[in-house]
């Protein structure tokens, strides 16, 4: 749920990066954090274990400038992908204005991608959020790996993108597709916010 502060003329929106473990959610945020000028970002909070998996979430407040006289801030979160962090995923997802689903493009990860997407839908439904109207963007990550390890993008689209939402190939480690994904979900969130304010 976007927070609109009329006194300070600020809008704060929450975007959650969702997906299976090790799909590249945290890597997306690290790349964004490294590229955004310091006056446009807050501190990045990352809770990781020795094996470098996000246990709770990453949080990166991002200032995207002024829109219609309001300063717009996006708070980017990631959820832990591992199955046993179900409760944490639910909590982090609460109040999300938009979701980026980060899929692992490797052939051996298809079942995990499908399971994680079903988990996302179930958790949104549990928060009484209409999945069909939630701003959602799909990212097919790890496209930099050798082709023999990867599923064709068309196969991923068939398996995951039944809503026909914007989707992007990405290499979160090196940057291709990262900002395109963020821009697309930000635009969807702001469009929905504009529509609800005009209603």
* CA atoms of 42 and 22, how far apart (whole Å): 24
Q: 54-67 and 3-5 as β-strands: parallel, antiparallel, unpaired? A: unpaired
The answer to whether residue 56 scores a pLDDT higher than 50 is: no
- 57-66's contacts with Cβ under 8 Å and 24+ in sequence apart are 57/88, 57/92, 58/25, 58/26, 58/29, 60/29, 60/32, 60/33, 62/32, 62/36, 63/39, 64/40, 64/186
Mean pLDDT of 63-71: 76
Q: 98-104 and 10-18 as β-strands: parallel, antiparallel, unpaired? A: parallel
Query: How far, in Å, are 27, 67, 68 from residue 6 at the CA level?
Result: 34, 13, 12
pLDDT band at 72 (very low <50, low <70, confident <90, very high): confident
Q: Which two tokens stand for residue 172?
A: 């979160």
pLDDT value of residue 199: 46
User: DSSP 3-state assignment of 70?
Assistant: strand
Domain ranges of the chain: 3-194
pLDDT value of residue 57: 46
Among residues 96, 55, 105, 54, which one has the least CA distance to residue 75? 96
Q: Residue 169 contacts by C-beta under 8 Å, 6 or more apart in sequence?
A: 105, 140, 143, 153, 176, 177
**Annotation: CATH topology of 3-194:** Rossmann fold (3.40.50)
pTM of the model: 0.89
The answer to whether residue 52 scores a pLDDT higher than 70 is: no
pLDDT band at 50 (very low <50, low <70, confident <90, very high): low
Q: Regarding predicted confidence, which is higher, 51 or 84?
A: 84
* CA atoms of 47 and 74, how far apart (whole Å): 19
The chain-wide mean pLDDT, for the chain, equals 87
Mean pLDDT of 107-116: 97
pLDDT band at 16 (very low <50, low <70, confident <90, very high): very high
The answer to whether residue 117 scores a pLDDT higher than 50 is: yes
């Amino acid at each position: 749920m976007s927070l609109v502060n009329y006194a300070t003329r600020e809008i704060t929106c929450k975007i959650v990066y969702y997906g299976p473990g090790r799909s590249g959610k945290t890597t997306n945020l690290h790349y964004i954090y490294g590229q955004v000028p310091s006056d446009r970002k807050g501190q990045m909070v990352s809770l990781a274990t020795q094996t470098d998996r996000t246990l709770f979430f990453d949080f990166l407040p991002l200032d995207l400038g002024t829109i219609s006289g309001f300063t717009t801030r996006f708070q980017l979160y990631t959820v832990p992908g591992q199955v046993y962090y179900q409760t944490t995923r639910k909590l982090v997802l609460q109040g999300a204005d938009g979701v980026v689903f980060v899929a692992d493009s490797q052939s051996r990860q298809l079942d995990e991608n499908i399971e994680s997407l079903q988990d996302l839908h179930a958790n949104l439904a549990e928060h009484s959020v209409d999945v069909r109207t939630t701003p959602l963007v799909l990212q097919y990550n790890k496209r930099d790996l050798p082709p023999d390890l990867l599923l064709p993008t068309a196969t991923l689209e068939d398996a995951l993108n039944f809503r026909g939402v914007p989707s992007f190939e990405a290499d979160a480690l090196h940057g291709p597709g990262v900002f395109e994904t963020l821009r697309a979900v930000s635009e969807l969130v702001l469009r929905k916010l504009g529509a609800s304010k005009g209603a």
